[in-house]
Chain A
Amino acid sequence: MSDYIVLVKQVPDVSQITDNAFDPNTGNLIRTRLPSVINELDAQALAFARRMAFLAGDQKARIIALTMGPPMATDVLRYSLARCADIAILLTDKALGGADTWATANPLAWAIRKIAKEMLQDSQDYYIVAGMQSVDGDTAQVPPQIAEELNIPCVSYITDAHFQQGRFTFTRIISGGSQTVQLRRMPAVLTVAKYEYPLFASFQRTRQASKIPLIQWDARTIQAKAVGVEGSKTRVIRVFPPGKTTRKCQPVHSAKELAQVIAQSLRQASAGEQAQEKGRAAYLLPARRKSPFDRSFEGTAKELEDFQVLTQILQEMKITRLEEITDQVCEKILQDPRVDFHKKALEDMIEGYRLTDPTYKGEVWVVAEQDENGIHPAVFELLGKARELADSLEVQTGVVLAGKSARPLADSLIAAGADKVYLLEHPLLEPFDPFVWRKAVSDVWEKYRPQIVLFAATPQGRVLAPMVSYRTGCGLTADCTGLDIRDSSRKKQIAILFQTRPALGGNVMATICTKDSPCQMATARPGVMKRLDDNPSRRGTIVSHWVQLREEDRSLEILRTEKGTGKVHFDSDCIVSGGKGMQNRDNYDRLLNLLCTAIRDRFAVSVEKGASRTAVEQGFAERIYQVGQTGTAVGPKLYIAVGISGAIQHMIGIANTETIAAINTDPHAPIFKQCDYYLIGSAEQVIPQLAEELRTMG
Chain B
Amino acid sequence: MSTPQANPVSVLIIGAGPAGLSAAIHLKKNHPELDVVVIDKASGPGHHNLSGAVVESAALERLLNPIELNWQTSEQAKKVLIGQVQQDDLLFLAGKCAAFKILPAIHLAKALGLGFGQLSHRGDWICSLSRLTAWLCELAQKAGVEVLHGFAAGEILWNEQTHLAEGVRLVDQGLDKEGHPQPNFLPGEIIPARIILIAEGCDGQIAEQFIQKAGLRRRSPQLFSLGVKELIKVSPQQYEAFGNGRVVHAMGYPLWTPLIGPGMFGGGILYPMGAEQIAVGMIVGLDYPYYDFNPQDALTLLKQHRWVRRFIEGGKVIEGGAKMIPEGGFHALPRCPQTGSIGKSNVCLLGDSAGFVNMLKIKGIHNAVYSGLAAAEAVGANLDTPAAVARCYTRLLEENGVLKEMASAKNFRQTVAKFGPLQGLPLSVLGDWLPQFSVEPDWKTMRRRRYRLKPAVRFDKDTLTAVAGTAHREEQPCHLTIRNAAVCKEKCQPLFEAPCITFCPAGVYESIQGAVKPANPSNCLHCKTCQRKCPFDNIRWRCPEPNGGPKYKTM
Q: A35-B44, A86-B1 are in contact. Are A649 and B316 (CB under 8 A)?
A: no
Task: Give Cα distance in the complex from A53 to B2, angstroms.
Answer: 12
Residues of chain A with a CB closer than 8 A to B173's CB = 200
Within 622-663 of A, Cβ neighbours of B (below 8 Å) are at 623, 630, 645-649
List chain B residues, Cβ under 8 A from A119: none
Query: In the assembled complex, which residues on chain B have CB atoms less than 8 Å from the CB atom of A696?
Result: none
Contact B4 A208 (CB under 8 A): yes
CB–CB B519/A617 < 8 A? yes
Chain A CB within 8 A of B189 CB: yes
Q: A50-B1, A197-B182 are in contact. Are A18 and B150 (CB under 8 A)?
A: no
Q: In whole angstroms, what is the CA distance A584 to B37 when docked?
A: 48
> B379 within 8 Å of A by Cβ?
no
B151/A614 in contact, CB under 8 A: no
B316 touches A19 (CB 8 A): yes
Q: In the docked arrangement, what's the CA distance between A61 and B458, Å?
A: 57
Known contacts A584-B513, A618-B512, A618-B519; decide if A203 and B191 are in contact (CB<8 Å).
Answer: yes
- Least Cβ–Cβ distance between B488 and chain A, in angstroms: 17
Task: Decide yes or no whether B238 CB sits under 8 A from chain A.
Answer: no
- When each residue 1-25 of chain B gets 1 if its CB lies under 8 Å from chain A and 0 otherwise, what string results? 1011110000000000000000000
A515 within 8 A of B: no
Task: List A contacts of B146 (CB < 8 A).
Answer: 207, 210
Within 8 A of A (CB), among B40-56: 44
What CA separation (Å) do A405 and B510 show in the bound complex?
59
Q: Of the listed stretches B407-415, B426-434, B436-444, B463-471, name the one at the interface; the rest are far from the partner chain.
A: B463-471
Q: Do the beta carbons of A16 and B462 come within 8 Å of each other?
A: no
Asked if A321 is an interface residue, CB under 8 A from chain B, the answer is no
Most-contacted residue by chain A among B1, B37, B475, B520 (CB, 10 A): B1
Tell me if B318 and A19 are in contact (CB < 8 A).
Answer: yes
B436 CB to nearest A CB, Å: 43
Which A residues are CB-close (under 8 A) to B462? 645-649, 670
In the complex, the answer to whether B37 meets A202 with C-beta atoms within 8 Å is: no
| Most chain A CB inside 10 Å of its own CB: which residue of B37, B151, B545 | B151
Count of A interface residues, CB-CB < 8 Å: 45
- A614 & B519 in contact (Cβ 8 Å cutoff): yes
Q: A647 — which chain B residues lie within 8 A by C-beta?
A: 462, 466
Given the contacts A203-B151, A670-B460, A16 and B3 also touching, CB distance less than 8 Å = no
CA distance A619 to B1 in the complex (A): 38
> Residues of A contacting B373 with CB < 8 Å?
none
**A-chain residues with CB within 8 Å of residue B5 when the two chains form the complex:** 204
Chain A residue nearest in CB terms to B172: A200
Residues in B with CB closer than 8 Å to A59 are 1
Contact of B512 among A205, A580, A613, A623 (CB under 8 A): A580
Q: Report whether B474 and A613 are in contact in the complex, using a CB–CB cutoff of 8 Å.
A: yes
**A434 smallest CB distance to B (angstroms):** 28
Which A residues between 333 and 390 are near B, CB-CB below 8 angstroms? none
Compute how far the CA of A205 lies from the CA of B3 in the bound complex, rounded to whole angstroms: 6
Please tell me the number of chain B residues within 8 Å of chain A, measured between CB atoms.
41
**Known: A63-B1, A86-B1, A580-B510. Contact between A20 and B318, CB under 8 A?**
yes
Task: Say yes or no: is B435 at the interface (Cβ < 8 Å to chain A).
Answer: no
| Interface residue B174 (Cβ < 8 Å from any Cβ of A) | yes
Max chain B C-beta neighbours (<10 A), residue from A197, A207, A613, A645:
A207
| 8 A Cβ contacts from A101-139 to B | none
Q: Does B104 contact A (CB under 8 A)?
A: no
With A198-B184, A618-B512 as known contacts, state yes or no: A630 contacts B1, CB within 8 Å: no
Give min CB distance, B384 to chain A, whole Å: 24
Q: Which residues in B have their C-beta under 8 angstroms from that of A583?
A: 513
Q: Is A444's beta carbon under 8 Å from chain B? A: no
Residue of B nearest to A205 (CB): B3
Q: Which of B304-361 contact A (CB under 8 A)?
A: 316, 318
Interface residues of A in 203-252 (CB under 8 A from B): 203-208, 210
CA distance A61 to B2 in the complex (A): 10
Complex contact B1–A61 (CB within 8 A):
yes
Q: Which residues of A contact B170 (CB under 8 A)?
A: 203
Q: Tell me whether A197 and B184 are in contact (CB under 8 A).
A: yes
A614 contact set on B, CB distance < 8 A: 510, 519-520
Residues of A within 8 A of B545 (CB): 200
B494 within 8 Å of A by Cβ?
no
> Which residue of the partner chain A has the closest CB to B520?
A614
Q: Are B183 and A51 in contact (CB under 8 A)?
A: yes
Interface presence of A84 (CB below 8 A): yes
In the complex, whether B186 has a CB less than 8 A from a CB of chain A is yes
Task: Let me know if B363 is at the binding interface, CB within 8 A.
Answer: no
Interface residues of A in 580-601 (CB under 8 A from B): 580, 583-584
Q: Which residue of B lies closest to A614 (CB)?
A: B519
B183 A197 Cβ-Cβ under 8 A: yes
Chain A residues near B1: list those with CB within 8 A.
50, 53, 59, 61-63, 84, 86
* Chain B hits for A630, CB < 8 A: 471, 474, 522
Residue B148 lies at the interface, judged by CB distance under 8 Å to chain A: yes
Instruction: Give 1 or 0 for each of A63-86: 1 = CB within 8 Å of chain B CB.
Output: 100000000000000000000101
Which of the listed residues A51, A203, A617, A648 has the most CB atoms from chain B within 10 Å of its own CB?
Answer: A203
Q: CB within 8 Å of B: which of A20-53?
A: 20, 35, 47, 50-51, 53
Report chain A residues within 8 Å CB of B28: none
Interface residue A201 (Cβ < 8 Å from any Cβ of B): yes
- List the B residue with the shortest CB-CB distance to A647: B462
- B128-186 residues with Cβ-Cβ distance < 8 A to A are 146, 148, 150-151, 170, 173-174, 182-184, 186
Please report the C-alpha to C-alpha distance between residue A59 and residue B2 in the assembled complex, in whole angstroms: 8
- From 53 to 68 in chain B, residues with beta carbon under 8 angstroms from any chain A beta carbon are none
B551 within 8 A of A: yes
A-chain residues with CB within 8 Å of residue B318 when the two chains form the complex:
18-20
Q: Is A199 located at the chain interface by the 8 A CB criterion?
A: yes
Instruction: Determine whether A560 belongs to the interface, using a CB cutoff of 8 Å to chain B.
Output: no
In whole angstroms, what is the CA distance A50 to B174 when docked?
15
Task: Determine whether A318 belongs to the interface, using a CB cutoff of 8 Å to chain B.
Answer: no
Taking CB atoms, residues of chain A closer than 8 Å to B458 are 668
CA distance A374 to B26 in the complex (A): 72
Other-chain residue from B148, B460, B474 in contact with A203 (beta carbon distance below 8 A): B148
- A207's nearest neighbour on chain B, judged by CB, is B146
Contact A202 B186 (CB under 8 A): yes
A residues adjacent to B (C-beta < 8 A):
16, 18-20, 35, 47, 50-51, 53, 59, 61-63, 84, 86, 196-208, 210, 580, 583-584, 613-614, 617-618, 623, 630, 645-649, 668, 670
Could you list some 7 contacts between A and B, CB below 8 A? A20-B318, A62-B1, A200-B173, A202-B189, A203-B189, A648-B466, A670-B460
Closest 6 CB pairs of A and B: A197-B184, A647-B462, A200-B173, A200-B186, A648-B466, A197-B183
Known: A86-B1, A617-B474. 8 other contacts (CB 8 A): A16-B469, A50-B1, A51-B183, A84-B1, A200-B184, A200-B186, A614-B519, A630-B522
